[in-house]
Structure 1
Amino acid sequence: MTPEAVIAATRHWVETVVVDLNLCPFAKRELVRDRIRFVVSEADDADTLVDDLERELQWLQDNDAVETTLLIHPQALTDFDDYNQFLDVADVLLSQMRLSGELQVASFHPDYQFAGTEADDVENTTNRSPYPMLHLIREASLEAAVMNYPDPENIPARNIETVEALGAEHMRALLQACFARGKAI
Protein backbone atom coordinates (compact mmCIF):
# COMPACT_ATOMS: atom_id res chain seq x y z
CA MET A 1 0.00 0.00 0.00
CA THR A 2 1.09 3.54 -0.63
CA PRO A 3 1.67 5.96 2.24
CA GLU A 4 -1.48 7.79 1.16
CA ALA A 5 -3.52 4.59 1.42
CA VAL A 6 -2.06 3.82 4.86
CA ILE A 7 -2.95 7.32 6.04
CA ALA A 8 -6.46 7.06 4.57
CA ALA A 9 -7.06 3.77 6.40
CA THR A 10 -5.68 5.18 9.64
CA ARG A 11 -7.65 8.40 9.37
CA HIS A 12 -10.80 6.34 8.78
CA TRP A 13 -9.99 4.36 11.94
CA VAL A 14 -9.57 7.58 13.94
CA GLU A 15 -12.88 8.91 12.61
CA THR A 16 -15.02 5.77 12.88
CA VAL A 17 -13.52 3.94 15.84
CA VAL A 18 -11.66 6.41 18.04
CA VAL A 19 -13.98 9.41 17.56
CA ASP A 20 -17.36 7.91 16.64
CA LEU A 21 -17.18 5.38 19.47
CA ASN A 22 -15.71 8.07 21.74
CA LEU A 23 -12.85 5.80 22.79
CA CYS A 24 -10.78 8.93 23.24
CA PRO A 25 -13.00 11.83 24.26
CA PHE A 26 -10.20 14.27 23.38
CA ALA A 27 -9.59 13.14 19.78
CA LYS A 28 -12.53 14.75 17.99
CA ARG A 29 -11.47 18.28 18.84
CA GLU A 30 -7.97 17.74 17.45
CA LEU A 31 -9.24 15.93 14.36
CA VAL A 32 -11.69 18.74 13.55
CA ARG A 33 -8.97 21.33 14.10
CA ASP A 34 -6.62 19.34 11.82
CA ARG A 35 -4.03 19.10 14.59
CA ILE A 36 -3.31 15.39 14.18
CA ARG A 37 -0.27 14.59 12.09
CA PHE A 38 -0.30 11.29 10.22
CA VAL A 39 3.19 10.06 9.29
CA VAL A 40 4.06 6.77 7.61
CA SER A 41 7.44 5.26 8.39
CA GLU A 42 8.93 3.05 5.73
CA ALA A 43 11.04 1.31 8.36
CA ASP A 44 11.10 -2.45 8.18
CA ASP A 45 13.15 -2.99 11.33
CA ALA A 46 13.31 -1.61 14.86
CA ASP A 47 16.58 0.30 14.38
CA THR A 48 15.23 2.28 11.45
CA LEU A 49 12.00 2.90 13.33
CA VAL A 50 13.98 4.36 16.25
CA ASP A 51 15.50 6.88 13.82
CA ASP A 52 12.06 7.78 12.47
CA LEU A 53 10.65 8.05 15.99
CA GLU A 54 13.48 10.36 17.03
CA ARG A 55 12.88 12.59 14.00
CA GLU A 56 9.15 12.71 14.66
CA LEU A 57 9.54 13.45 18.37
CA GLN A 58 11.83 16.34 17.49
CA TRP A 59 9.45 17.55 14.79
CA LEU A 60 6.53 17.53 17.21
CA GLN A 61 8.61 19.32 19.83
CA ASP A 62 9.48 22.03 17.30
CA ASN A 63 5.97 22.46 15.81
CA ASP A 64 3.39 23.39 18.40
CA ALA A 65 0.64 23.94 15.79
CA VAL A 66 0.28 20.15 15.73
CA GLU A 67 -1.12 18.55 18.86
CA THR A 68 -0.30 14.90 18.30
CA THR A 69 1.32 12.55 15.80
CA LEU A 70 0.42 9.05 14.70
CA LEU A 71 3.67 7.47 13.51
CA ILE A 72 2.38 4.54 11.47
CA HIS A 73 4.87 1.76 10.68
CA PRO A 74 3.14 -0.96 8.65
CA GLN A 75 6.34 -2.92 7.89
CA ALA A 76 8.10 -2.76 11.27
CA LEU A 77 7.17 -4.55 14.48
CA THR A 78 4.21 -6.36 12.98
CA ASP A 79 4.54 -9.01 15.71
CA PHE A 80 2.81 -7.66 18.81
CA ASP A 81 5.36 -9.07 21.28
CA ASP A 82 8.20 -7.35 19.39
CA TYR A 83 6.16 -4.16 19.23
CA ASN A 84 5.37 -4.30 22.94
CA GLN A 85 9.07 -4.70 23.79
CA PHE A 86 9.90 -1.74 21.53
CA LEU A 87 7.81 0.52 23.76
CA ASP A 88 10.62 0.33 26.33
CA VAL A 89 13.03 1.55 23.63
CA ALA A 90 10.67 4.44 22.91
CA ASP A 91 10.65 5.40 26.59
CA VAL A 92 14.46 5.32 26.71
CA LEU A 93 14.58 7.53 23.62
CA LEU A 94 12.22 10.04 25.25
CA SER A 95 14.54 10.14 28.24
CA GLN A 96 17.67 10.50 26.11
CA MET A 97 16.06 13.37 24.19
CA ARG A 98 15.04 14.96 27.52
CA LEU A 99 11.41 14.85 26.45
CA SER A 100 10.09 12.77 29.34
CA GLY A 101 7.33 14.79 30.95
CA GLU A 102 6.77 16.74 27.73
CA LEU A 103 5.85 14.00 25.26
CA GLN A 104 4.69 10.43 25.75
CA VAL A 105 4.10 7.46 23.49
CA ALA A 106 0.81 5.56 23.47
CA SER A 107 0.45 2.26 21.68
CA PHE A 108 -1.87 0.85 19.03
CA HIS A 109 -1.40 -2.34 17.06
CA PRO A 110 -3.58 -4.67 14.95
CA ASP A 111 -2.91 -7.51 17.41
CA TYR A 112 -2.96 -5.46 20.60
CA GLN A 113 -3.48 -7.58 23.69
CA PHE A 114 -3.77 -6.35 27.25
CA ALA A 115 -1.98 -8.35 29.92
CA GLY A 116 -4.24 -10.98 31.42
CA THR A 117 -6.53 -11.25 28.39
CA GLU A 118 -6.95 -13.81 25.65
CA ALA A 119 -6.04 -12.73 22.11
CA ASP A 120 -9.67 -12.77 20.97
CA ASP A 121 -11.10 -10.86 23.96
CA VAL A 122 -13.12 -7.94 22.64
CA GLU A 123 -11.60 -5.49 25.15
CA ASN A 124 -8.33 -5.66 23.18
CA THR A 125 -10.08 -3.89 20.29
CA THR A 126 -9.96 -0.60 22.22
CA ASN A 127 -6.26 -0.43 21.22
CA ARG A 128 -6.36 -2.24 17.89
CA SER A 129 -5.55 -0.19 14.83
CA PRO A 130 -5.23 -1.00 11.14
CA TYR A 131 -1.42 -0.86 11.33
CA PRO A 132 1.17 -0.78 14.11
CA MET A 133 1.61 2.81 15.24
CA LEU A 134 3.08 4.97 17.93
CA HIS A 135 0.90 7.81 19.16
CA LEU A 136 3.01 10.78 20.24
CA ILE A 137 1.16 12.95 22.73
CA ARG A 138 1.91 16.29 24.37
CA GLU A 139 1.65 15.61 28.10
CA ALA A 140 0.62 19.15 29.07
CA SER A 141 -2.30 19.06 26.64
CA LEU A 142 -3.35 15.63 27.83
CA GLU A 143 -3.21 16.73 31.47
CA ALA A 144 -5.31 19.81 30.70
CA ALA A 145 -7.88 17.75 28.82
CA VAL A 146 -8.09 15.19 31.61
CA MET A 147 -8.53 17.92 34.25
CA ASN A 148 -11.54 19.26 32.33
CA TYR A 149 -13.13 15.87 31.75
CA PRO A 150 -15.52 14.37 34.29
CA ASP A 151 -14.37 11.01 35.65
CA PRO A 152 -11.33 10.46 33.37
CA GLU A 153 -10.22 7.39 35.30
CA ASN A 154 -13.40 5.67 34.07
CA ILE A 155 -12.48 6.07 30.37
CA PRO A 156 -10.87 2.61 30.00
CA ALA A 157 -13.79 0.84 31.70
CA ARG A 158 -16.30 2.78 29.60
CA ASN A 159 -14.36 1.88 26.45
CA ILE A 160 -14.47 -1.80 27.36
CA GLU A 161 -18.22 -1.56 27.98
CA THR A 162 -18.65 0.11 24.58
CA VAL A 163 -16.76 -2.53 22.60
CA GLU A 164 -18.31 -5.39 24.58
CA ALA A 165 -21.78 -4.04 23.78
CA LEU A 166 -20.88 -3.86 20.08
CA GLY A 167 -19.21 -7.27 20.06
CA ALA A 168 -16.06 -8.66 18.53
CA GLU A 169 -17.59 -9.20 15.09
CA HIS A 170 -18.71 -5.57 14.84
CA MET A 171 -15.32 -4.31 15.95
CA ARG A 172 -13.58 -6.52 13.35
CA ALA A 173 -15.92 -5.14 10.69
CA LEU A 174 -15.06 -1.56 11.67
CA LEU A 175 -11.36 -2.33 11.37
CA GLN A 176 -11.83 -4.06 8.02
CA ALA A 177 -13.70 -1.01 6.71
CA CYS A 178 -10.54 1.00 7.28
CA PHE A 179 -8.66 -1.14 4.77
CA ALA A 180 -11.44 -0.65 2.24
CA ARG A 181 -11.00 3.11 2.66
CA GLY A 182 -7.26 2.77 2.14
CA LYS A 183 -7.72 0.69 -1.01
CA ALA A 184 -10.01 3.36 -2.45
CA ILE A 185 -7.08 5.81 -2.56
Structure 2
Amino acid sequence: MALAVLCWLVLAIGGCGAAQPDVIATDKDNGGRVQVRSGQLLDIVLADDYDETRCQWRKDHNSGRDIVDFRGQRYEWDRTPPAGRGNGTSTMRYLARQTGTARISLVESDNSDRVCRRFAVDVEVGPPSMLEGIASAGNYAFPYVAGALVVVVTLGLIGRLLYFAFRSTRE
Protein backbone atom coordinates (compact mmCIF):
# COMPACT_ATOMS: atom_id res chain seq x y z
CA MET A 1 0.00 0.00 0.00
CA ALA A 2 2.76 2.41 0.97
CA LEU A 3 4.59 1.63 -2.27
CA ALA A 4 1.48 2.36 -4.32
CA VAL A 5 1.00 5.69 -2.55
CA LEU A 6 4.67 6.57 -3.09
CA CYS A 7 4.50 5.73 -6.80
CA TRP A 8 1.33 7.79 -7.17
CA LEU A 9 3.01 10.77 -5.47
CA VAL A 10 6.08 10.49 -7.70
CA LEU A 11 3.90 10.48 -10.83
CA ALA A 12 1.73 13.34 -9.56
CA ILE A 13 4.71 15.51 -8.68
CA GLY A 14 6.45 14.69 -11.97
CA GLY A 15 3.46 15.97 -13.91
CA CYS A 16 2.01 14.94 -17.22
CA GLY A 17 1.04 16.63 -20.44
CA ALA A 18 2.55 19.40 -22.48
CA ALA A 19 4.61 22.10 -20.85
CA GLN A 20 3.05 25.54 -20.63
CA PRO A 21 4.69 28.34 -22.63
CA ASP A 22 6.78 30.94 -20.83
CA VAL A 23 6.00 33.68 -23.39
CA ILE A 24 3.05 34.04 -25.78
CA ALA A 25 3.08 36.21 -28.91
CA THR A 26 -0.20 37.02 -30.70
CA ASP A 27 -1.46 38.87 -33.76
CA LYS A 28 -0.81 42.11 -31.84
CA ASP A 29 2.94 41.36 -31.90
CA ASN A 30 3.08 41.23 -35.72
CA GLY A 31 6.08 43.28 -36.88
CA GLY A 32 7.26 43.70 -33.30
CA ARG A 33 9.68 42.15 -30.86
CA VAL A 34 9.34 39.64 -28.00
CA GLN A 35 11.88 38.75 -25.34
CA VAL A 36 12.54 35.30 -23.91
CA ARG A 37 15.38 33.68 -22.01
CA SER A 38 17.37 30.66 -23.09
CA GLY A 39 15.50 27.46 -22.27
CA GLN A 40 12.06 29.07 -22.32
CA LEU A 41 9.14 28.08 -24.55
CA LEU A 42 7.60 30.64 -26.90
CA ASP A 43 4.13 30.09 -28.34
CA ILE A 44 2.95 32.19 -31.26
CA VAL A 45 -0.87 32.02 -31.10
CA LEU A 46 -2.54 33.45 -34.20
CA ALA A 47 -6.17 33.81 -35.23
CA ASP A 48 -7.04 31.15 -37.79
CA ASP A 49 -10.40 30.71 -39.49
CA TYR A 50 -9.71 27.86 -41.89
CA ASP A 51 -13.40 27.11 -42.47
CA GLU A 52 -13.90 30.59 -43.90
CA THR A 53 -10.58 31.32 -45.64
CA ARG A 54 -9.30 27.81 -46.51
CA CYS A 55 -5.87 29.18 -45.53
CA GLN A 56 -3.58 27.75 -42.88
CA TRP A 57 -0.46 28.98 -41.12
CA ARG A 58 2.96 27.66 -42.16
CA LYS A 59 6.56 28.47 -41.38
CA ASP A 60 7.92 30.94 -43.92
CA HIS A 61 11.40 31.83 -42.69
CA ASN A 62 13.45 31.59 -39.52
CA SER A 63 16.70 33.56 -39.52
CA GLY A 64 18.22 31.89 -36.46
CA ARG A 65 17.54 28.17 -36.23
CA ASP A 66 20.35 27.79 -33.70
CA ILE A 67 18.75 30.54 -31.54
CA VAL A 68 15.09 29.42 -31.60
CA ASP A 69 14.07 25.88 -32.50
CA PHE A 70 10.64 25.06 -33.99
CA ARG A 71 8.91 22.42 -31.84
CA GLY A 72 5.54 21.97 -33.51
CA GLN A 73 2.20 23.39 -34.55
CA ARG A 74 -1.35 22.90 -33.27
CA TYR A 75 -4.62 24.03 -34.86
CA GLU A 76 -7.65 24.48 -32.59
CA TRP A 77 -10.83 25.22 -34.52
CA ASP A 78 -12.88 26.03 -31.40
CA ARG A 79 -10.46 28.26 -29.48
CA THR A 80 -11.06 32.00 -29.36
CA PRO A 81 -7.90 33.82 -30.44
CA PRO A 82 -6.27 36.10 -27.84
CA ALA A 83 -5.97 38.82 -30.51
CA GLY A 84 -7.21 39.18 -34.05
CA ARG A 85 -10.41 37.81 -35.56
CA GLY A 86 -11.35 34.23 -36.24
CA ASN A 87 -13.08 31.21 -34.81
CA GLY A 88 -9.92 29.22 -34.15
CA THR A 89 -6.21 29.48 -33.49
CA SER A 90 -2.97 28.16 -34.86
CA THR A 91 -0.16 27.82 -32.33
CA MET A 92 3.49 27.54 -33.33
CA ARG A 93 5.81 26.47 -30.50
CA TYR A 94 9.49 27.40 -30.33
CA LEU A 95 12.25 26.68 -27.82
CA ALA A 96 14.77 29.45 -27.11
CA ARG A 97 18.13 27.69 -27.35
CA GLN A 98 20.86 30.32 -27.02
CA THR A 99 21.28 34.06 -26.71
CA GLY A 100 20.83 36.20 -29.81
CA THR A 101 18.10 37.59 -32.04
CA ALA A 102 16.11 35.64 -34.61
CA ARG A 103 13.31 36.66 -36.94
CA ILE A 104 10.41 34.24 -37.24
CA SER A 105 8.20 34.70 -40.31
CA LEU A 106 4.94 32.82 -40.84
CA VAL A 107 2.54 32.87 -43.76
CA GLU A 108 -1.14 31.97 -43.87
CA SER A 109 -1.85 30.56 -47.32
CA ASP A 110 -4.02 28.03 -49.11
CA ASN A 111 -2.84 24.94 -50.97
CA SER A 112 -2.33 26.92 -54.19
CA ASP A 113 0.02 29.29 -52.28
CA ARG A 114 -2.44 32.20 -52.32
CA VAL A 115 -1.33 34.33 -49.35
CA CYS A 116 -4.05 35.38 -46.91
CA ARG A 117 -1.84 36.98 -44.24
CA ARG A 118 1.73 37.23 -43.03
CA PHE A 119 3.20 37.40 -39.54
CA ALA A 120 6.74 38.23 -38.46
CA VAL A 121 8.31 38.83 -35.07
CA ASP A 122 11.86 39.41 -33.85
CA VAL A 123 12.73 37.16 -30.92
CA GLU A 124 15.43 38.37 -28.54
CA VAL A 125 16.82 35.50 -26.49
CA GLY A 126 18.66 36.43 -23.32
CA PRO A 127 20.63 34.20 -20.94
CA PRO A 128 18.68 32.17 -18.38
CA SER A 129 18.36 33.63 -14.89
CA MET A 130 20.23 31.91 -12.06
CA LEU A 131 16.95 30.65 -10.58
CA GLU A 132 15.89 29.19 -13.95
CA GLY A 133 19.25 27.46 -14.26
CA ILE A 134 18.77 25.80 -10.87
CA ALA A 135 15.16 24.87 -11.68
CA SER A 136 16.23 23.46 -15.04
CA ALA A 137 18.83 21.28 -13.37
CA GLY A 138 16.15 20.11 -10.95
CA ASN A 139 13.83 19.20 -13.82
CA TYR A 140 16.52 17.04 -15.40
CA ALA A 141 17.52 15.41 -12.10
CA PHE A 142 14.00 14.79 -10.74
CA PRO A 143 13.20 11.58 -12.68
CA TYR A 144 16.48 10.00 -11.59
CA VAL A 145 16.06 11.01 -7.95
CA ALA A 146 12.43 9.84 -7.94
CA GLY A 147 13.41 6.53 -9.55
CA ALA A 148 16.18 5.98 -7.02
CA LEU A 149 13.76 6.77 -4.19
CA VAL A 150 11.25 4.22 -5.50
CA VAL A 151 13.97 1.57 -5.73
CA VAL A 152 15.24 2.28 -2.20
CA VAL A 153 11.75 2.20 -0.69
CA THR A 154 10.86 -0.97 -2.61
CA LEU A 155 14.02 -2.73 -1.46
CA GLY A 156 13.38 -1.54 2.09
CA LEU A 157 9.85 -2.95 2.05
CA ILE A 158 11.04 -6.26 0.60
CA GLY A 159 13.78 -6.45 3.23
CA ARG A 160 11.29 -5.75 5.99
CA LEU A 161 8.92 -8.45 4.69
CA LEU A 162 11.76 -10.98 4.51
CA TYR A 163 12.86 -10.05 8.03
CA PHE A 164 9.37 -10.65 9.44
CA ALA A 165 8.98 -13.87 7.42
CA PHE A 166 12.26 -15.35 8.74
CA ARG A 167 11.66 -14.08 12.25
CA SER A 168 8.27 -15.79 12.42
CA THR A 169 9.80 -19.11 11.22
CA ARG A 170 12.42 -19.00 14.03
CA GLU A 171 9.86 -18.62 16.79
TM tier, shorter chain?
Answer: under 0.3
Output the TM-score relative to the length of structure 1. 0.21
Q: Which structure has the larger Rg? A: 2
- Between the two structures, name the one with larger relative contact order (CA 8 Å, sep ≥ 6): 1
Q: Which has the higher strand share?
A: 2
Q: TM-score, normalised by structure 2?
A: 0.23
More helix by share: 1
